[in-house]
Structure formats: structure tokens, C-alpha cells
Amino acid sequence: MRYVLALDQGTSSSRSIVFDEQGRQVALAQREFRQIYPQPGWVEHDPQEIWTSQLATARQALKEAGLEARQISAIGITNQRETTLIWNRRTGQPIHNAIVWQDRRAEPLCAALRAQGHAEAVREATGLVIDAYFSASKVHWLLNHVPGARAAAERGELAFGTVDSWLLWQLTGGRVHATDVSNASRTLLFNVQRNRWDENLLALFDVPASLLPQVQPSSHWYGEADAEWLGAPVPVGGMAGDQQSALFGQACFGPGMAKNTYGTGCFMLMHTGTRFQRSANGLITTRVAQVASPYPTLASAPPAPEYALEGSVFIGGAVVQWLRDGLQAIQASSEVQSLAESVPDAGGVIFVPAFTGLGAPYWQPDARGAILGLTRGSTVAHIARAALESIAFQSAALLQAMARDVQASGTDTNAPIQVTELRVDGGACANNLLMQFQADLLGIPVLRPKVIETTALGAAYLAGLATGVWRSTAELATHWQVDRVFHPTLPRDQAEARMEHWTRAVRQTCTT
């Protein structure tokens, strides 16, 4: 039996999971780490804590599995995307805390660039909107606010990376500074159609090219992790941003296949094949995980890049954390379902958890959270149910936007893509109440797989493909198995009325 170790570095915790060659989970280790909030709208992580927590879980997972490092065929890395780090190439020391994807401090720069008319050119190159969510404006902020950083960057002394690059640098003792196409596509600095860093974007955000990692396919032999970390050298064979990794782990390998991950945020991706499709409905276009090398031989043409439409919800499962830590309505996140089920419905309460603005399809950075529809009869149970429903409402808005985009893309020779089911993963998909409500709003089946750790599984698959554990995506597709299907039961007119109530509530949270 061959094994692959997946390092799943998320927003609130680091996890490591060992999978066998059948794609079955053998062992899991997890460790939460600090969330740092210097001021409203700012979110940071300690880079060293990211690394040490990830390493600790890797060692623990091997111990739980009863395996030694020499029995691991490969390491795959998946990570919170857009979170931005800069470190000194010589010492390996970060110049500042990591600026997390949720952080909004760079919004003034983004607003200025949008006002200057750069939005269309940036979107054509990157598939993204100009927003502080992505990495480029965070890099700009670090270079301009950390004393001496810009001068050091101009001298080539600093390295920029998203979390995947930071972990790879640590694992290889600073020998490898690289990222993959899926993470690069989230920086606002990478041209997703030309498959390279873009000089015009670097100039626009005033980012020196010397900072940048080398971009590789997602399934690729990146190098070997040093023996000191796990006890023996282990090849790093795969890297992908968490949502592209989850799409891969869900075996969504073709156009029209869609998944939604319910984590700290919610992230829905729909595979669109080789079609670079601009959204007219508040979504973004992103690269999916690249399996084959862009340049297998000098003589052969590179395979066409593949894309996905994506919608990102900033606050998904984090709303349950707020119920626990902020409102102190529950002692543990696992209690939320029973509390929500203690009432038959939300009693007219609608919870819009715009704690850090609203992401797709609204893109309202100034929106703030609101609980609407309260009466004297409202209880904390109604608020808990409304909090869970807010996750489904936001996700339904994403799929509706995707449906409008793909319907508009059809031509006489190019049929529109059809989405007939939604595959789900992430911690909150274990909540049956939430999944049933999601199916009711969408009007299509919601499929929960037997292995819901698909973000880590995708990283394992990518690493295993690079090292010969698996041969093809066709083989991987045979491993995907459904645990439960949630069929819609709510009449469509009632579902549409519920969505209209949600839309009205969202409008009330926006200041502009």
C-alpha cells in the first residue's frame, strides 16, 4: 500500500491527512492557531505559527497512521489562498505578519485603481476584479508600510509568496521558491491566458519582479522536504489553492461540474473547461489545478489552460464561530444544529453576516453585518437558524449568478453549460439541516461524498499523479463515492420568495 501526506493549511487551523492509494483517509491531525486583529477590517497570521502548526500536524498524522516518512510516496500542499507573506531570502525571516485574504486594509488602493479605469484591463488579464481580497494590493501595502521593505525588495533580498510558497520554502530549507498556477491566478499579478506573471500588472501595483516565485503546474515534482522535518526526505509533488484543490478532490474534471466548500468562507467553483469566460454577474474567472506540465517537451504544444467560474463568500462557517465566541450562544460549534432545530424555522429573522464586507456576487466592501426581522418573539435559536440559513442563501446567490453566466455563453456552435448537481465538502457540509436547506434553495440535488476532506484529497491526488501513485484523472474519478444526496423539497415559488427576502436584506446592509 502506498500513502500520500496532504498538508491542508487553512484560515483557522493547520491540518495534515494521510491517504492511501484508494483515496481513503488513514489519519488526520489538526491544530488551530491565532487569529490576529490589529484593528477593524484587518486580519493577520503569524507566519512562524503557520509553519510550526503545520509541521506539528504532519508529524502527528504520521504517528497516528503508524507510518514512517520513508513510507510516504509524496507530499501535497493545499492552502488558504491570497494570504500574503514576504520574507528575507537570506535569513528566511518574515518582514511582517501574513496579511490574510479577509483583510481589507488595501481597499483604498484598489478603489483608486478602479476609479482610474484599470478594472477592465485587469479583468481581461487575470479574470479577477480589483479588490483587496487578492494578493497584489497586500504586497503593495507591505512594501510601503514596513520600514526598508521596498528598498530591500528592489535589491532582490525579499521573497513574496502565498502560504503554499511559504510552506514549500520551509520544507526545502529555502532551496525552492515556487507556486502553482492556481495560487498564482489569485494574486492579480498573473496573466491566466498567457500563463505568466504580467509586466503591466507588476507596474500597476508597483511590485518588483524579483519578489516573485516560479510558477509550476499543480501536479509537479517541486523538490524534496528535508529529512529533518519528518525523518526522511519526501518529495513534494503537488500544490494547489484550497478551492481548486477541492474541485480536483471532488473529481470535477469537466465543464458543468460544480462544487461548494463550506469552510470559514464558502467557495463555489464551476468547471468551464478551456473556455475563459468573463462573468457579467459578479463572479470571477480562475485557473483550475493544472495536471500536465505546460511544456512537456520543446516540440509539443502546451495543453490549453482550463478555467472555472468562482464565487467567494467571505463569511460562511465563521458565522458559527461568531455565535460561539462573539454572541456566546453556544459552547461548541457542533451545538449549532441542535439549537437551530429547536425552532421550526427562523421566525422571519434574516442574518446577513457581512462582517468584512460582502464578496461575490455583490462585491460590497462597505457592507456590514445585520440581523433583520427581529420581534419580541425572536430567540437565540431563531438567530442560530438564520445564521445557518445565511450560509445557504449566500451560496445559492453564487449558483444563480453562474447559471446566468453560462446561459448567456451559449451560441449556435457552443451549447451553454448545464449544472445538474452540486457536490459539497468542508466541515459545515456535515450539517444535514444546512444541506437540505441548500438543496431547497437551489432546486437541484446536493451530493455529499463519503470523503468530505476533499480539499486535502485534491492535494494528495495532485502529488500522487506527479509521483506515480495514480495514473490519470479517469482513475481518480472511480474513487469518488456519494454518502448522501439531499433532494430539493421546497416548491420553487417558495424558494424564490425566500431568495427575494434575502436580496432585500442584503441591500439594507450596503452603505452605497
Q: Could you tell me the CATH number of the domain that includes residue 138?
A: 3.30.420.40
- The dihedral over CA atoms of 374, 380, 385, 386, expressed in degrees to the nearest 10, equals 30
User: Is residue 403 domain-resident?
Assistant: no
pTM assigned to the model: 0.86
User: Is residue 488 domain-resident?
Assistant: no
Does one domain contain both 153 and 55?
A: yes
User: Is residue 72 domain-resident?
Assistant: yes
Number of domains in the chain: 2
User: Is residue 156 domain-resident?
Assistant: yes
Does one domain contain both 229 and 374?
A: no
Q: How confident is the model at residue 416 (pLDDT cuts 50, 70, 90)?
A: low
Annotate 394-412 with three-state secondary structure.
HHHHHHHHHHHHHHHCCCC
Does one domain contain both 234 and 356?
A: no
DSSP assignment of 75-123 equals EEEEE-SS-BEEEETTT--BSSPEEPTT--TTHHHHHHHHHTT-HHHHH
Does one domain contain both 87 and 197?
A: yes
**pLDDT tens-digit map of 468-498:** 999 889 899 998 989 999 999 999 999 999 9
Does one domain contain both 239 and 322?
A: no
Q: How confident is the model at residue 409 (pLDDT cuts 50, 70, 90)?
A: low
Q: How far is CA 131 from CA 38, 102, 112, 136, 267, in A?
A: 20, 11, 11, 9, 17
**pLDDT tens-digit map of 230-264:** 999 999 999 999 999 999 999 999 888 999 988 88
User: Is residue 473 domain-resident?
Assistant: no
User: Is residue 322 domain-resident?
Assistant: yes
Report, as an integer, the average pLDDT of 109-122. Answer: 95
Q: How far is CA 322 from CA 269, 326, 332, 357, 384, in A?
A: 26, 5, 11, 15, 10
Q: Is 286 helix (H, G, I), strand (E, B) or coil?
A: strand
Higher-confidence residue: 407 or 331? 331
Range of the domain at 228: 3-243
Does one domain contain both 230 and 327?
A: no
Q: Is the sign of the CA dihedral 367, 369, 375, 376 positive or negative?
A: negative
Q: Are 411 and 245 in contact (CB under 8 A)?
A: no
Does one domain contain both 20 and 119?
A: yes
Give percent above pLDDT 90 in the chain.
Answer: 73
Does one domain contain both 158 and 45?
A: yes
Task: Give all strands of the β-sheet with 307-313 in edge-to-edge order.
Answer: 284-287, 307-313, 266-273, 258-262, 422-425, 446-449, 482-486
Does one domain contain both 136 and 228?
A: yes
Does one domain contain both 209 and 75?
A: yes
User: Is residue 340 domain-resident?
Assistant: yes
Residue 303: predicted pLDDT? 65
Lowest mean pLDDT among 233-247, 385-399, 405-419, 455-469: 405-419
Judge whether residue 293 has pLDDT over 60.
no
Residue 305: predicted pLDDT? 86
Does one domain contain both 229 and 360?
A: no
Judge whether residue 512 has pLDDT over 60.
no
Lowest mean pLDDT among 24-28, 126-130, 412-416: 412-416
End position of a domain, from candidates 220, 243, 266 = 243
**Averaged pLDDT score across all residues of the chain:** 91
Does one domain contain both 228 and 346?
A: no
End position of a domain, from candidates 223, 243, 263 = 243
Residues 423, 111: Cα–Cα separation, whole Å: 35
User: Is residue 480 domain-resident?
Assistant: no
Residue 417: predicted pLDDT? 73
End position of a domain, from candidates 243, 278, 305 = 243
**pLDDT tens-digit map of 138-189:** 999 999 999 999 999 999 999 999 999 999 999 999 999 999 999 999 999 9
